[in-house]
Homo-oligomer: A and B are copies of this chain.
Amino acid sequence: MLEVATLAGVSVKTVSNVVNHYVHVSTATRVRVQSALDELGYRPNLSARSLRGGQSGLIALALPELDFPYFAELARYIVQAAEAHGWTVLIDQTDGRAEREKLVMDGIRDQLIDGVIFSPLVTGARELAARRDTTPMVLLGERVHHGTMDHVGIDNVAAAQTVVAHLATLGHTRIAAIGEQRHRRGETARLRLQGYLAGLENAGLPFDPTLVMAAASYHRADGAAAMTELLALGDPPDAVFCFNDMLAIGALRTLRDRGVRVPEDVAVVGFDDIEESSYSAPGLTTIRPDKARIASTSIALLAARLDGGGGPSRDVTERFDLVVRRSTASPS
């Protein structure tokens, strides 16, 4: 900036004024400075701006796994929504490891980041409540914390109930569930299981604990393994509700390998509506959370905090839809 000032024959502050479109700069000076800027190819130093002004234009998005299609799709929407605010998104992959998530809580890139959108996997209410870092944070996923942070999610219980109601209406009576998690802290599994149970009750169906399969994580391989176990049961299910699409795709794979027909012999439902699910064999019936809205709401909440907004924490529940594809039908 000093070089530009020298070339234009003005002070650095005047250059700064031109760069920042300050009103009271004579047209003559403005033109002279501008051409000096262009000639030297001036680029502002963001570190300096950030140091001086306190804002960097950077927000962090902390997710468990980038190659988890649901998160990849969500990340895309968030990057787009952030762009509209002139923010750049720094993506942090936690791998669902407690130590990485703790790092996110404590501030990944301290005072370089204006705000954080965080999708916790193992971090619980206690850790969230104990957070000391003051960077504005918006939480995604299940609402584990009823405290000071903003939160965006969907009604998991209602969604799971919707799935079971759909299957029950079609005439299924032995509806299995894949995705229970006994040892993890994640609330997702608990809420979806709760909705599953409520759905059975609403439909007047008995609850059979042997039909609930645990999943160590929510990858395709876990779904395939769980489905194998279900098929080994003396009295196998006629429908399976998988707690996410990846599990369901794994389950479909197992069924295909075993020659079990979907949906004739077993109906399958997923959760998330990743793009892959509309190309699976057969197309997967699933719950579609409104990812675009989840993204834009998260950004809007963060923007409100950054614009000096204090106030109580806000909790937004976005809509979801049941997308019916070929993987569900009445039992034959």
Contacts and interface: CB of A to CB of B under 8 A. Distances in A.
A41 B98 CA distance: 21
Nearest to A90: B90
Interface of A is mostly: mixed
A89 B58 CA distance: 12
Interface centre among A46, A110, A275, A281, by most chain B C-beta atoms within 10 angstroms, is A46
A76 B94 CA distance: 10
A256 interface: yes
Copies of this chain assembled into the complex: 2
A184 interface: no
A76 B69 contact: no
A277 to B, nearest CB: 10
Interface centre among A66, A91, A93, by most chain B C-beta atoms within 10 angstroms, is A66
Contact of A112 (B47, B73, B92, B111): B47
Interface residues of A, number: 47
A66 B90 CA distance: 13
A58 B57 CA distance: 14
A250 B280 CA distance: 10
Contacts of A66: 66, 72-73, 75-76, 79
22 contacts: A45-B110, A46-B110, A47-B47, A50-B112, A58-B112, A66-B72, A66-B79, A67-B69, A67-B73, A67-B76, A67-B275, A79-B93, A88-B90, A89-B90, A91-B91, A220-B279, A224-B279, A249-B279, A250-B279, A252-B279, A252-B281, A256-B281
